[in-house]
Amino acid sequence: MKIIDVIASPGLTGFYFDDQLAIKAGVAHDGFTYNGEPRTPGFRAVRQRGESISVLLILEDGQVAAGDCAAVQYSGAGGRDPLFLAEDFIPIILEEIAPKLVGQELDSFRQLAGVVEHSKRPNGERYHTAIRYGVSQAILDGVAKAKKKTMTEIILQEYDLPLVLEPVPIFAQTGDDRYDNADKAIIKRAGVLPHALINNVETKLGKHGELLMEYVEWLRNRIIMLGGDDYRPVLHIDVYGTIGIAFEDDPQRMVDYLARLEKVAAPLHLRIEGPMDAGSIEGQIEQLKVLRVALKARGVKVEIVADEWCNTYEDIVKFVDAQAADMVQIKTPDLGGIQNTIEAVIYARKFGVGAYVGGSCNETDGGGRTAVHVALATRPDQMLAKPGMGVDEGYMIVHNEMNRTLAVLRRANRL
């Protein structure tokens, strides 16, 4: 089955692009947006609508395969590729990517995705991560349609993975609405919650960690009250380096605090993402490893999740090789082609490190569904409900795609 044409359409994502540089510089909130001037090149406002591009492969039998190009909320920050706007990148897809795909046989996802992943622009630069991300999704969908299989089955076959007919725990993130949205996640019985967006010491963590302690106590009580005796989700909280700030990166003080937090969370298991930000990948690996070793020496079972400075496949390999974290977040758009996410999960699991197929609130429904197939095939410890920050929509998209796919696979394996 060959690709006979490539077309593209502009789209919207499930959240927004935010100028992290301007926000860190102190621009003020104004309702749902911000006052002030943007500071990151390409931004027209501090917060602007998230944009995507749907890449559509026209197959010779008339079928259409699709993938969504999308970038993370904080585009252009932390060494990431620049702001991804549809009007800027559709011409690149049609003029430079399409000729590489038209006429290609859809017989190998890995081979064809690799062609795009390793191609260079006429100026010698790599293609934007968002382009590689969306085009690889379309290729995976195209190979699945050509072979009349699910995308899960294509990944299983090409990476020689075992079929497991069980769901992967879904992680629901609350955003700043950490109370009402936690209720939503509990009612929907999410396997992991709440993320909670603890990104400020004074207003969210507390100078001594007391605000987060109060929130975790409320959350534990709420789960027990609303969820009943048979519901014990994992608590996964992203603190954006604020614990390190509050406790001056002193590992023993951080261990003392996390030991207290673990007791408050009991009987629920606790994961802390990004406890500190060391300012470099080398420093982050070293500090996370020191904290992880100190926690284990004290018998504290809180798991440490790597996020900051763990962006690409190569970064993930470094964190895993150093055994610097109990779990790595694999941020799907930042890795470029979806095959890199597949390989990152496989690598982490091979060396006993937890894998979290994450991503961004600023993705699309299509990207969320593709991530489900990656998760069902590679078996990470959890995957993010995405896109958006409202719990309901992202959780529905991911949960329903997972259950539909499992139903199809169970039927196929009964025949």
Residues 348, 353: Cα–Cα separation, whole Å: 5
pLDDT at 381: 98
CA-to-CA dists, residue 340 to 99, 117, 191, 403, angstroms: 23, 9, 25, 24
Closest CA relative to residue 297, chosen from 236, 255, 354, 352? 255
CA-to-CA dists, residue 143 to 137, 148, 152, 161, 194, angstroms: 10, 8, 11, 17, 35
Which residues lie below 8 Å from residue 400, measured CB to CB, with a gap of 6+? none
pLDDT at 128: 97
Q: What are phi and psi of 109, to 5 degrees?
A: -60, -50
Residues 148, 66: Cα–Cα separation, whole Å: 15
pLDDT at 78: 66
pLDDT at 24: 77
pLDDT-flagged residues of the chain (< 50): none
pLDDT at 68: 98
3-state secondary structure the chain: CEEEEEEEEEEEEEEEEECHHHHHCCCCEECCEECCCCCCCCCCCCEEEEEEEEEEEEECCCCEEEEEECCCCCCCCCCCCCCCCHHHHHHHHHHHHHHHHCCCECCCHHHHHHHHHCCECCCCCECCHHHHHHHHHHHHHHHHHHHCCCHHHHHHHHCCCCCCCCCCCEECCCCCCCCHHHHHHHHCCCCEEEECCCCCHHHHHCCCCHHHHHHHHHHHHHHHHHHCCCCCCEEEEECCCHHHHHCCCCHHHHHHHHHHHHHHHCCCCEEEECCCCCCCHHHHHHHHHHHHHHHHHCCCCCEEEECCCCCCHHHHHHHHHCCCCCEEEECHHHHCCHHHHHHHHHHHHHCCCEEEECCCCCCCHHHHHHHHHHHHHHCCCEEECCCCCCCHHHHHHHHHHHHHHHHHHHHHCCC
pLDDT at 53: 98
Residue 331 annotated to the active site: yes
* Residue with tokens 């109370």, as numbered in its chain: 179
Tokens of 208: 């001594």
The CATH number of 3-148 is 3.30.390.10
Closest CA relative to residue 51, chosen from 385, 387, 399? 387
pLDDT at 137: 98
Task: Tell me the whole-structure pTM to 2 decimals.
Answer: 0.96
pLDDT at 51: 98
Catalytic position from the list 184, 204, 318, 331: 331
**What angle, 0 to 180 degrees and rounded to 10, lies between the N-to-C axes of helices 392-412 and 151-158?**
70
Tokens of 87: 């009007």
Instruction: For domain 170-412, give its CATH number from 3.20.20.120, 3.40.50.300, 2.60.40.10, 3.90.580.10.
Output: 3.20.20.120
pLDDT tens sequence across 290-342: 999 999 999 999 999 999 899 999 999 999 999 999 999 999 999 999 999 99
How far, rounded to the nearest angstrom, does the alpha carbon of residue 332 sit from its chain's CA centroid? 5
Residues 291, 304: Cα–Cα separation, whole Å: 8
Residue ranges per structural domain of the chain: 3-148, 170-412
